[in-house]
A and B are shown apart, each in its own frame.
Chain A
């Protein structure tokens, strides 16, 4: 007959292992996640897994002050998700929109550079038209990053 304490210790270790695995899988989704909302969702999931970790550690060590930490972490995770959702809403464009804008700005800059080069002379005017197009292009890239 296996003792109850042995079963309990085994299940605590098993729970810690499974939680670590799901933590790693969620982190993979956050790193890979193609869009910003995917990453926000991964962050939400990380908070849930961290609360689970806190519960298991609280049971394992008997140090029940961790429950307060879990409640505070839940509050912070909720507020972070709400704030990120407001940010997604106020940004108002998806990653595809930003990529399209950057590509359009780049092709626009290329077209202007070609038009400016064709007359041959007038180096000062060429510079003046090429510079704003170049800055527009680079700011589009920054948006994307």
Chain B
């Protein structure tokens, strides 16, 4: 039983770090702020949460486990809020989408050509 839990936690560690790597490659390769945000805020949050869950599984006492899970819940709650706020601020200030974007639903009526 203990071995199985250790193996699950090892697998979660590798998967979580792989998600973090995917997020940072997306941050590097995608063309504009909004697509980069989609990579960083989804895959990055997923990676950090998976690694915290691995810590919770590996921990032997209930206190550490509950604190790690509280960290996961907190991170899942705050990450969308902060990236949404940043995207809204950047869009309203006037950072444009990349020219290969096919759709801009927030574009004002008088700007559509």
Chain A 98-121 per-residue mask, 1 if CB under 8 angstroms from chain B, else 0: 000000000000000000000000
Is A45 engaged at the interface, CB distance under 8 Å to the other chain?
Answer: yes
- In this complex, the member of A21, A37, A49 whose beta carbon has the largest number of chain B beta carbons within 10 angstroms is A37
Q: Annotate B35-79 by CB proximity to A: 1 below 8 A, 0 otherwise.
A: 011001100110110011011001101001001101100110011
**A-chain residues with CB within 8 Å of residue B89 when the two chains form the complex:** 37, 85-86, 88-89
**Contact count band on A:** 35 or more
Q: Are B86 and A52 in contact (CB under 8 A)?
A: no
Is the CB–CB distance between B14 and A11 below 8 Å? yes
A58 touches B74 (CB 8 A): no
Determine if A88 and B10 form an interchain contact, defined as CB atoms under 8 angstroms apart: no
Inside 8 A of A86's CB, which chain B residues have their CB? 89
A81→B68 CA distance, assembly (Å): 22
Of the candidates A5, A12, A25, A51, which one forms a contact with B25 in the assembled complex, judged by CB atoms under 8 Å apart? A25
Cβ of A45 and Cβ of B44 under 8 Å apart? yes
A26 CB within 8 Å of chain B: yes
Whether a CB of chain B sits under 8 angstroms from the CB of A41 is yes
Q: Are A70 and B27 in contact (CB under 8 A)?
A: no
8 Å CB contact of A93 from B23, B33, B37, B94: B94
| Size of the chain B interface, CB-CB below 8 angstroms | 55
Contact A41 B94 (CB under 8 A): no
Residues on the A chain within 8 Å of B52, using CB = 51, 55, 67, 70
A74 at the interface (CB under 8 A from B): yes
- Distance in Å from the Cβ of A122 to the closest Cβ of chain B? 43
Once the chains are docked, how many angstroms separate the CA of A128 from the CA of B83?
49
> Which of chain A's residues has its CB closest to B52's CB?
A55
**Shortest CB–CB separation between residue B49 and chain A, in angstroms?**
9
Distance in Å from the Cβ of B8 to the closest Cβ of chain A?
A: 11
Query: Contact: B86 with A19, CB < 8 Å?
Result: no
The answer on a CB contact under 8 Å between B20 and A49 is: yes
A49 near B64 with CB under 8 A, answer no
- Is the CB–CB distance between B23 and A45 below 8 Å? yes
Q: Show 20 A/B contacts (Cβ-Cβ < 8 Å), sorted by A.
A: A8-B10, A12-B10, A18-B17, A18-B20, A22-B20, A41-B37, A41-B40, A44-B83, A49-B24, A52-B17, A52-B47, A52-B48, A56-B13, A56-B17, A67-B68, A68-B67, A71-B71, A74-B71, A78-B82, A89-B89
* Shortest Cβ-Cβ A-B pairs, 7 listed: A22-B24, A11-B10, A55-B51, A81-B82, A18-B17, A78-B78, A15-B17
